[in-house]
A and B are shown apart, each in its own frame.
Chain A
Amino acid sequence: MQKNKTKTRRERTSWKKALSRDWHLYLMLLVPVLLVVIFNYASYPGLRMAFMDYKPAKGYAGSKWVGWDTFAKVFRDRDFTRALKNSLVFNLLDLVVSFPMPIILALMLNELRFPRFKKVTQTVLYLPHFLSWVIIGSVAYQLFKPTTGIVNVLFMNWGWIQQGIPFLTEKWHWAATYLLIGVWQGMGWGTIIYLAAITGISGELYEAAMIDGATRLQRIWHITLPGIRSTIVILLIMNLGKIMGSNYERLDVFGNTQVKDFQYQLAIYIYEKGLASSKFSMATAVGLFQSLVGLILVLASDRFAKALGEDGLL
């Protein structure tokens, strides 16, 4: 009996058997794993740059070790404080504004009953995700310039406004426009995971609820939302990890001198003060700082979620 148990355990854990049975799946997995190893882990040795006065022409061997000097210099820099503050505020706002939208949209799409209309709507909503920020930015300026933008020209021609609205040229208006364009660009694509999670909810629950007389809103509230709660929590934890990050491309295309008070975020700081000035050590130090804070936030939120009885991420 004991012998049989041991055999069963060995059979279950045999990687050889698993490999020979599912080799094609492992082969497919190899490509993404290699990508992660090459682009995420292979660059780790480069992090030592943050602790060196790194000169590209001298290489690692010829550059001096400076300990925490680069970090101290960065943290004393007023521009870093400004960029950090803006990054935190805008990423939090982005999270507040952008995170719920795909959930709401997924719930709405799930309620559509005419299949062709549903598919067309989904496709239309996905499309902005495939547009580069450069294109979105240039179109946005054509639409929203204060005096020659199409939207302002139309509003003025219709007599709705006397002066153009500075959608992208006054910092508060810019903040709203920037965030809403972000929502528009990402919400459709963000629904995919939620829609997939919704399909995993048993149809019998809806049928039972309907027999019991639940309205559509009640079904959403009591069946669909609880059914995708763990997915929401996982995505929230992952998004919290991005709270220190920022998208250079997005910030750059929407940037102009009138909104620098808000647009100056960590990605811009790293590019301007780090890469464009050949200060690779500084750029690496800020990047490392961003990653560490992100990691801490992910771990903390994961623990918090588990404390609330959720599955968590890890």
Chain B
Amino acid sequence: MKKILSLVLAAAMLLTLMPLAMAEGTTDWEPFAENVSITIPVYDRGQAGVPNVEGNYWTEWIQKNFGDKYNITVNYVAIPRTDVMTKYSMLAAAEDLPTILMEYDYPKVTQWAADGYLTEFDMDEFAKVAPTYYNRMVEMNQLTYTKINGDTYFVAAYRPYYDTSYTFQSFVRMDWLRQVGYDHVPVTTSEYNDAMQKIMDAGIAAHPAGGVMVTGVGSDQNYQWRTWPLDEKEWAMYGDYNIPALGWEPNYRLLKNENHKYNIGMTNPEYYLTGTEDEKTNFINGETYQYGAYISASMDWLTAFYEANPDAELAIVPVNGKIDAEYGTTPGYRTDNPFGMMVGFSSFATEDQIKAAWMYMEWLTQPENLFTFQWGIEGENFNYDEEGLPQTDSNYNGEYKMGFSNNKDYWCVTIEARQAGTIEDVIANNLPHDLPQDFTQDIIDWYYDKVAVRDAGWAIANALYSVSMESEAEYQTTLTNLYKEYRDKLTMCSEEEFDALYAQYAQEYLDAGYQAVIDERAEAYEAGNSTHLLNQTATEVDLNK
């Protein structure tokens, strides 16, 4: 009974989104006469304690329950999470691309299309083979993102709560804040800087703000530093996630603040040598104020933190609803794209292989298959609670052990999050409950605050282009590497030198290719080949903090 209730809950959202689905579907498929072999990419995150990504119980489970039924051999190929593009390049050079190519970042998949890695296809044919998947795209208005230069190259996975994502949370030392007279967590820049200064003055931590080396791609997101109302053309030219906007006013203001923080000692002087694992260790060791990570039912680092700091009190950083009068920062934030993985199909694949890949995606989208793949085996990976909702056993380590984040790197081909029950249930299921503090209610509140801020108009989606951007493909790697170098020099120079150095590096950055990038984006925007800003009437929100 509990299982039935759970399945009903798990399927509820999918079913409401796909009224036309299931009429046709997996039952119509005939097994292939000749065996068809397909290859699916799966991220290798280099994490200890997870099964081999290319072969484990769950890859065999797919083969047994899907592959064998339709005479399809399903293979998996590991893609290093930190070096996706190089790995795909190598596979393409060896003419060994996987049948499916998928990535979260739109510029990456458009580059694949431009480089000939992907094949065009007929969306109507896809709809016949994978009606559930297709109808969900229709319901979520995702078809607009499936074309480049007028040709269909992609299908889009579903990302629940894409503009109010709650899954990444920053945890801070509330006990330190109380020691320096704060009864709440600072959310504005001026309050944050003030609190850090007081923590340093009190001798609690030498460099409380910590800091990690910048990676270039996605570094220094400046959404809260932008001036409202946003200018749509500027947003289209500079407001990108992948190539940092050195030379744009919001980036200047952000880096000026970083420079100040470094010069007064708030930032770790060795931040540019500090990786994320070191930063996590610094937080666990009680050396830094804040650490952020994705929430999950098993958060080993939080367990380690409480073991090392039994008297510590943590809090999550609340949503900001106010404009900071001193620094001009706003509640502006970046929303995810309105899709999860963008999925394309190899130009080396045969028609049968592409059809088999579509079948694989459709089969995984069926609620009963997806549920097992996301939650595992009852009594092993999860158990039902009193309300009939599945609860993951975060300590499970047996033969059915799942891959990173409950097999997410496999089922991300169709959906980006596990769904079981209401948002409250989902959050509760994605948090550990055996720690000295329970953050469930805090994160539920955080989610509703985020909804309020979004509704007030502060959500900023990045511009997406329906034409391939050749200059991005040409200059992205150069610019992101150059940004890392300039950014650290700008952070570490004296405050007096900053403005002159910023102007010099901004010009060099333009000359190195950024000018070509922003020119091409402006051209695409003016030709009507980009998305648009949705809401510009942002107002402050009283979140009753």
A interface, CB within 8 angstroms of B: 55-59, 62, 79, 141, 145-148, 169, 256-258, 260, 272-273, 275-278, 280
Q: Are A57 and B481 in touch, CB under 8 angstroms?
A: no
A256 and B89 in contact, given A57-B347, A272-B477, A277-B476 (Cβ under 8 angstroms): no
Q: Are B270 and A272 in touch, CB under 8 angstroms?
A: no
Q: How far is the CA of A257 from the CA of B505 in the complex (A)?
A: 14
Q: How far is the CA of A105 from the CA of B47 in the complex (A)?
A: 43
**Partner-contacting stretch, out of B25-33, B360-368, B483-491:** B483-491
Q: How would residues 207 to 230 of chain B score, 1 for a CB under 8 Å from any chain A CB and 0 otherwise?
A: 000000100000000000000000
In this complex, what residue of B is CB-closest to A277?
B477
Q: How far is the CA of A145 from the CA of B274 in the complex (A)?
A: 11
Q: How far is the CA of A119 from the CA of B9 in the complex (A)?
A: 72
Chain A residues within 8 Å of B90, by CB: 275
B54-111 residues with Cβ-Cβ distance < 8 A to A are: 83, 85-86, 89-90, 92-93, 95, 97, 111
Asked if B116 lies at the interface with its beta carbon under 8 angstroms from chain A, I say: yes
Q: Are A258 and B272 in touch, CB under 8 angstroms?
A: yes
Q: How far is the CA of A58 from the CA of B270 in the complex (A)?
A: 45
Closest A-B pairs by Cβ, 6 of them: A57-B116, A56-B92, A257-B488, A278-B89, A56-B93, A277-B477
B222-242 residues with Cβ-Cβ distance < 8 A to A are: none
Q: Are B488 and A57 in touch, CB under 8 angstroms?
A: no
Q: How far is the CA of A312 from the CA of B476 in the complex (A)?
A: 47
Q: Are A278 and B85 in touch, CB under 8 angstroms?
A: yes
Q: How would residues 463 to 496 of chain B score, 1 for a CB under 8 Å from any chain A CB and 0 otherwise?
A: 0000000000110111001001101110010000
**Distance of A242 from chain B, by nearest CB (Å):** 25
Q: Are A57 and B478 in touch, CB under 8 angstroms?
A: no
Contacting residue for B86 out of A55, A169, A258, A275, CB 8 A? A275
**Distance of B269 from chain A, by nearest CB (Å):** 6
Contacting residue for B477 out of A58, A256, A257, A276, CB 8 A? A276
Q: Are A273 and B95 in touch, CB under 8 angstroms?
A: no
Q: Are A257 and B272 in touch, CB under 8 angstroms?
A: yes
Q: Are B478 and A79 in touch, CB under 8 angstroms?
A: yes
Known: A257-B489, A277-B477, A280-B93. 11 other contacts (CB 8 A): A55-B115, A56-B89, A59-B95, A169-B273, A257-B213, A258-B488, A273-B478, A276-B83, A276-B89, A276-B477, A277-B85
A276 and B86 in contact, given A57-B97, A58-B116, A79-B478 (Cβ under 8 angstroms): yes
Chain A residues within 8 Å of B481, by CB: 272
Q: How far is the CA of A58 from the CA of B117 in the complex (A)?
A: 8
Q: How far is the CA of A79 from the CA of B117 in the complex (A)?
A: 28
Q: How far is the CA of A62 from the CA of B348 in the complex (A)?
A: 13
**Distance of A252 from chain B, by nearest CB (Å):** 12
Contacting residue for A278 out of B115, B213, B347, B478, CB 8 A? B115
Q: Are B115 and A56 in touch, CB under 8 angstroms?
A: yes
B interface, CB within 8 angstroms of A: 83, 85-86, 89-90, 92-93, 95, 97, 111, 115-117, 213, 269-270, 272-273, 347-348, 473-474, 476-478, 481, 484-485, 487-489, 492
Q: Are A280 and B89 in touch, CB under 8 angstroms?
A: yes
Q: Are A148 and B270 in touch, CB under 8 angstroms?
A: yes
Q: How far is the CA of A260 from the CA of B83 in the complex (A)?
A: 21
Q: How far is the CA of A303 from the CA of B347 in the complex (A)?
A: 51
Chain B residues within 8 Å of A280, by CB: 89, 93
Q: Are B115 and A256 in touch, CB under 8 angstroms?
A: no
A146 and B270 in contact, given A56-B89, A57-B97, A257-B484 (Cβ under 8 angstroms): yes
Say whether chain B's binding surface is mostly helix, strand, loop, or mixed: helix
Q: Are B485 and A257 in touch, CB under 8 angstroms?
A: yes
- 14 inter-chain pairs at a CB distance below 8 angstroms, sorted by A residue, are A55-B116, A56-B89, A57-B115, A57-B116, A59-B95, A147-B270, A169-B272, A169-B273, A257-B488, A273-B477, A273-B478, A275-B89, A276-B85, A277-B85
Q: Are B115 and A272 in touch, CB under 8 angstroms?
A: no
Q: How far is the CA of A278 from the CA of B273 in the complex (A)?
A: 28
Chain A residues within 8 Å of B115, by CB: 55-57, 278
Q: How far is the CA of A275 from the CA of B115 in the complex (A)?
A: 14
Q: Which of B92, B95, B97, B487 counts the most chain A CB atoms within 10 A?
A: B92
Chain A residues within 8 Å of B478, by CB: 79, 272-273, 277
Q: How far is the CA of A276 from the CA of B270 in the complex (A)?
A: 27
Q: Are B116 and A146 in touch, CB under 8 angstroms?
A: no
In this complex, what residue of B is CB-closest to A148?
B270
Q: Are A260 and B85 in touch, CB under 8 angstroms?
A: no
Chain A residues within 8 Å of B89, by CB: 56, 275-276, 278, 280
Q: How far is the CA of A277 from the CA of B217 in the complex (A)?
A: 13
A141 and B273 in contact, given A257-B488, A276-B85 (Cβ under 8 angstroms): yes
Chain A residues within 8 Å of B270, by CB: 145-148
In this complex, what residue of B is CB-closest to A259?
B485
**Distance of B108 from chain A, by nearest CB (Å):** 11
**Distance of B272 from chain A, by nearest CB (Å):** 6
Q: How far is the CA of A227 from the CA of B514 in the complex (A)?
A: 59
A146 and B269 in contact, given A57-B347, A257-B488, A275-B86 (Cβ under 8 angstroms): yes
Chain A residues within 8 Å of B273, by CB: 141, 145, 169, 256
Q: How far is the CA of A275 from the CA of B270 in the complex (A)?
A: 30
Chain B residues within 8 Å of A276, by CB: 83, 85-86, 89, 477
**Distance of A307 from chain B, by nearest CB (Å):** 44
In this complex, what residue of A is CB-closest to B95?
A59
Chain B residues within 8 Å of A147, by CB: 269-270
Q: How far is the CA of A280 from the CA of B94 in the complex (A)?
A: 12
Q: Which of A56, A272, A275 counts the most chain B CB atoms within 10 A?
A: A56
In this complex, what residue of A is CB-closest to B511?
A78
Q: How far is the CA of A272 from the CA of B478 in the complex (A)?
A: 7
Q: How far is the CA of A258 from the CA of B488 in the complex (A)?
A: 8
**Distance of B328 from chain A, by nearest CB (Å):** 28
Contacting residue for A57 out of B92, B213, B477, CB 8 A? B92
Chain A residues within 8 Å of B476, by CB: 277
Q: How far is the CA of A280 from the CA of B89 in the complex (A)?
A: 9
**Distance of B336 from chain A, by nearest CB (Å):** 25
**Distance of B489 from chain A, by nearest CB (Å):** 7
In this complex, what residue of A is CB-closest to B111?
A278
Q: How far is the CA of A204 from the CA of B485 in the complex (A)?
A: 61
Q: How far is the CA of A260 from the CA of B487 in the complex (A)?
A: 13
Chain A residues within 8 Å of B473, by CB: 277
Chain A residues within 8 Å of B474, by CB: 277
Chain B residues within 8 Å of A169, by CB: 272-273
Q: Are A57 and B117 in touch, CB under 8 angstroms?
A: yes
Chain A residues within 8 Å of B492, by CB: 258
Chain B residues within 8 Å of A79, by CB: 478
